[in-house]
Amino acid sequence: MAEALGLSQQTTSHHLRVLRRAGLAVESRQGTRHLFAVRTDGLAAVRSYLDDFWPSRLADLKAVVESGAAEAGPGARPGVASGEVVGRG
């Protein structure tokens, strides 16, 4: 799997462990082999979260774009004039 993904064995193992701990994958063993499978019920929870998360974020994005902020250019911040120094906070 690591080779097919272009990742190191260590990185692949780490990500699979994270998915297992998050309840998104299950692991079984056959001898020295570790087999992983997707837990579809875990994915349903992720889908539910994203369904709740994105509508408000997309509405916010639409409001920013429609306010003309997009015309100010890449990296522009709404309410900040070009060349204005803005403190980090």
Model confidence pLDDT, tens digit, residues 34-89: 899 999 888 888 889 889 888 888 888 888 888 875 565 666 655 555 555 555 54
Q: According to the model, what pLDDT value does residue 35 have? A: 92
Which three-class secondary structure state does DSSP give residue 42? helix
pTM beyond 0.85, yes or no: no
Q: Locate the domains of the chain by residue range.
A: 2-38, 42-67
The kind and range of the H/E element at 33 are strand 33-38
Q: Any bridge partners for residue 26, and if so which?
A: 37
pLDDT level of residue 3 (50, 70, 90 thresholds): very high
**How far is Cα 76 from Cα 13, in angstroms, rounded to an integer?**
40
Render pLDDT for 6-38 as a digit per residue (tens, 0 to 9). 999 999 999 999 999 998 999 999 999 989 999
Which three-class secondary structure state does DSSP give residue 34? strand
